[in-house]
Amino acid sequence: MELTLFQKETIRHQFDCFCKKVLRGEVKDYQRSMMARARHEKLFSELSDTEEKRCWIEVEDEYPSDKVPFIVSDVVIEVENHQLAGILQSLPEEKKNIVLLAYFLGMNDGEIAQTLHMVRRTVNYQRNSALQEIKKGWKNAKSNTQ
């Protein structure tokens, strides 16, 4: 059955009316969301000096290149201080692993001994020895920068 010209025109007007209603609704939704946003957000130019300083203090970017990764027993330990990371890299593997497990993962000597398949007393001795080497390396690094 073919529609008459009048029926086609009526359908076109109905569709036009429907599209306008949808667009008006979208405009209202957009305006409502912008009003809600305006109640909760401020432009930087509208902030007081103390509010602006607080915003910048709380924001700090972190990049993977800022950290030096170490892998100990399939665990990745990231060290942020490049000077300390350099000193740790200069340590023998066993001592480095003990220090990383003790101070970055919070393991005690018994847990480290189990993880690295060592005697607990050896872990204690190696840790103390590594700390002495780190202390020397830290002093040398400080004296080189001054």
> Is 0.85 topped by the overall pTM?
no
The dihedral formed by the CA atoms of 8, 10, 11 and 12, expressed in degrees to the nearest 10:
80
Alpha helix locations (H) across the chain?
Answer: 5-40, 49-58, 82-90, 93-103, 109-116, 120-145
Whether residues 47 and 84 share a domain: the answer is no
Whether residues 132 and 87 share a domain: the answer is yes
Whether residues 109 and 45 share a domain: the answer is no
Query: Can you give the pLDDT at residue 45?
Result: 81
Q: What is the pLDDT of residues 127-136, one digit of tens each?
A: 999 999 999 9
CATH code of 90's domain: 1.10.10.10
Looking at the structure of the chain, the number of domains it has is 2
- Segment 68-72 mean pLDDT: 89
Q: What is the pLDDT of residues 73-117, one digit of tens each?
A: 888 888 888 888 889 999 999 999 999 999 889 999 999 999 999
Whether residues 38 and 74 share a domain: the answer is no
- The parent domain of residue 49 ranges over 5-58
Whether residues 78 and 14 share a domain: the answer is no
* Mean per-residue pLDDT of the chain: 88
Phi, psi of 24 (to 5 degrees): -60, -40
